[in-house]
Amino acid sequence: MDDRQTTILRYVIEDYINSAIPIGSQFLAEKYGLGISPATIRKEMMDLTEAGYLEQPHTSAGRIPTAKGYHFFVDVVMEDIRARNEASDENKIAKKLQQLIDEAEREVMPEITEYIADMTRNFVLGWSSDRAFYSDGVKYLLNEPEFNDHQTLCEMVLFMEDAQDEIPQRLAPTEKVRVFIGNENPISKAQDFSMLACSVSLPDNAEGTIAIVGPMRMQYRKNIAVLDYLQQYTKELFI
């Protein structure tokens, strides 16, 4: 993939994540002024489609990313985050986590799960080494246009039913944020979703895992940065 195709692909993915509307060549030409005609952009988008990075949901529609396209985007995002030590409102996160830990009467994991769900506006799962399991943020999923589709909503309900039993068994603790897109998901009923997961350190040398689950069209940059910082901060705090 050359530099021009890389730029076009990034713009398509970023705009689709924000709008949930297929992206067309005329839109890209008008918004970004790429110095090339809409026809040239259209040709590049066709090549990206043939290469498996984009797809066209309808004959007359623009393009949307495939799982392969999202993977490309995530690889770039991960490099950016690590290079810049990028997290959204690091001081705000640290202050809130410290408050949650100070105020927690028993376990801190349910409070962390709720906080990450509210901050990322996604469905979040949290579980600890003693097998306690928590979830929060279903309301945010229901606001996503993907879940206007009955089939997608049913798949998510089935996923939620299996999550508590299957995910802790299939998702081992990891040193870095792990990204599962589409059919990579450890749960078969989550093939149309993305999952981001990381280990977190807890009081008394315990360990837990936080996972963000949502449509493949999720805010990867923000969500990965939040989990990356969450993992770093809890490790510094408890180890």
For the stretch 3-37, pLDDT in tens is: 899 999 999 999 999 999 999 999 999 999 888 99
Is residue 87 scored above 60 in pLDDT?
no
End-to-end Cα distance, the chain: 43
160 CB-side CA count, 13 A: 15
Per the prediction, the chain carries an average pLDDT of 85
- Take residue 188 and report the two structure tokens written for it: 């078969």
Neighbours of 53 (CB within 10 A): 26
Find which of 44-53, 161-170, 191-200, 224-233 is predicted with most confidence, using mean pLDDT.
44-53
Identify which of 209, 127, 164, 146 has the alpha carbon closest to the alpha carbon of residue 17.
Answer: 146
Whether the CB-CB separation of 176 and 195 falls below 8 Å is answered with no
Judged by average pLDDT, the poorest of 65-69, 118-122, 148-152 is 148-152
Is residue 118 scored above 90 in pLDDT?
yes
Neighbours of 59 (CB within 10 A): 5
Whether the CB-CB separation of 156 and 191 falls below 8 Å is answered with no
**Could you give the maximum distance between any two Cα atoms of the chain, in Å?**
62
pLDDT in tens, 154-191: 777 777 777 777 777 777 767 789 999 988 877 766 67
